[in-house]
Amino acid sequence: MTQLDWLYGLCLTGVALYLLRERPRILLTPLLLLSMFVLYGIGSYVYFAGADTVPDVRRTVVICLMLMWVGVIAGIELARQTSPLTAHSATVVRHWKSLPMVHRGVGDQLLGALGLLVALYLMAVLVAYGKVGQLFSFSALYDSALKARFRQEYGAEGGYLYQTLIASVAPFLSFLLLLTGRAARKRSLIVIGLVLSGAVLAGKVGTFEKTPWLIYLLQLMITLQAVRSLKLGLTRIIVSVLVLMGGVILAVMVALPDIQVGIFEWLWYRFFEVNNEVIYQTFYVYPHYLPHTWGMNIGLVHALFGSGELVSAFHHVANFFGSDGATFDALFIADAWVDFSYGGVLALSVLVGWVVKTADLFITNLGKTPLSVALLGSGLYGLFQLLVTSAFTAFLSGGLVLIPLLAAASSGLVNDLSRVTSTSREAAWRR
């Protein structure tokens, strides 16, 4: 181990101590810190212990990992110290277990209608693209390379709206319907929620990816647990890990029928090594072989100021290492490095910490309601996206920012409609 590795260990010790402030709970901020600590704290040592690396590139990666931790924690504290929601949020979290689930009963019919429409749309797309037949064809393939080619060709079908719905919006609606139906004792909402959950699960299976359907099941499980308590005890952690491992083993047996190593060896590699490997590969390519893009790897910036078709950095990295057509997705600091070097890593890390903590404050300030719990459950997918892809993907299609904004806008609309309806009824009664 180098002196820099020892310094990174000291940095991780500080992160572990900081977790005493952000106590382990079913909230986005502590879950982000815990998962990053395992995957990119412990995982980085596991990867570098056995990898043949270039010293300069390894040094750069470790420096950026330390900058990431400093930035994320700085962003969390910035949100905590400046937000007017902090004090009330702390009170709600402290008393969460004893609080009743509050439901005002406003907009239930509109929610049910919306959930039914979304479920019908998802099922229509599944039927239109013949996803059931594709699933049987995918299962019958005997070669991992053929399955990968099948996934690339058919997995992203349906268009942007459909993919966004199954990724984050429809899961949030399914959670909200189930929780609202439970709180309001309305079986119709529960039935619609179950139908929508089935459509979402089918849509995620229809991407032919190994983990999206499993992440959704974990989201659902954790969301239902959060109704009772936010405490992240040992039992809950063990159950979640067992469900995750069981689901991944099943997915690997289907997606990689000709796997050449033991399943547990593959799991060890997948959880602890491959995530750090793709970070290292990105830093190996940029800027030694390809220059920093200075914003042109960001879709919106490229659309405004760039020319030609955008080819994302993870495609360039995959092509560089001989995996033409593949995508080497990496933790959000990889994209930040590609665009803006060290400054980008630090600045984006601060933004990530601020966004995640602000989302927690917004959610908990709603009190213990179906909406707040559903937002918490849907935010877990955004965290997953942060861990394996770019921050802006997690914010938008991952729903980390998009879903709370949509929830706030729709809540305001429902309140306005309710107010208008009440006023009209009162005027009619007076006449």
Q: Indicate the length of the chain as a whole number.
A: 431
Asked, as a colleague might, if the bond just before 287 is cis with ω within 30 of 0, I would say: yes
Beta strand ranges found along 241-319 (DSSP E): none
Per-residue pLDDT at 127: 92
Per-residue pLDDT at 411: 67
DSSP output for 97-126: GGSPPP----SHHHHHHHHHHHHHHHHHHH
Contacts of residue 96, Cβ cutoff 8 Å, sequence gap at least 6: 229, 230, 368
Closest CA to 70 of 276, 337, 339, 353: 353
Burial of residue 219 (CB within 10 Å: 0-12, 13-18, 19+) is buried
Q: Which two tokens stand for residue 277?
A: 């490997």
Per-residue pLDDT at 83: 93
Burial of residue 161 (CB within 10 Å: 0-12, 13-18, 19+) is exposed
Q: At what angle do helices 274-285 and 55-82 cross, to 10 degrees?
A: 110
- CA–CA separation, 73 vs 64, rounded Å? 14
- Could you read off the pLDDT tens digit of each residue along the chain, which spans 431 residues? 788 889 999 999 999 999 989 888 999 999 999 999 999 999 999 999 888 889 999 999 999 999 999 999 999 999 999 999 999 999 999 999 999 988 877 778 888 999 999 999 999 999 999 888 888 888 777 777 777 788 878 888 888 889 989 999 999 999 999 999 999 889 999 999 999 999 999 999 888 887 888 899 999 999 999 999 998 877 878 887 788 777 777 766 666 666 666 677 767 777 778 889 999 999 999 999 999 888 888 777 877 777 777 778 888 888 888 776 555 578 899 999 999 999 999 999 999 999 999 999 999 999 999 999 999 999 999 999 999 888 888 898 888 999 999 888 876 555 544 454 445 444 445 55
Q: How far is CA 359 from CA 63, 301, 379, in A?
A: 28, 25, 8
Per-residue pLDDT at 319: 84
Task: Give yes or no for a contact between 68 and 349, defined as CB atoms under 8 angstroms apart.
Answer: yes
Per-residue pLDDT at 307: 76
- CA–CA separation, 41 vs 39, rounded Å? 6
- CA–CA separation, 274 vs 385, rounded Å? 15
**DSSP H helical segments within 286-331, as ranges?**
299-305, 313-320
Task: Give the angle 68-35-267 at the CA atoms, nearest 5°.
Answer: 120
CB half-sphere exposure, 84, CA atoms < 13 A? 0
Per-residue pLDDT at 422: 46
Task: Give yes or no for a contact between 68 and 345, defined as CB atoms under 8 angstroms apart.
Answer: yes
- CA–CA separation, 204 vs 256, rounded Å? 18
Enumerate the β-bridge partners of residue 231: 25
325 Cα distance to chain centroid: 24
CB half-sphere exposure, 40, CA atoms < 13 A? 28
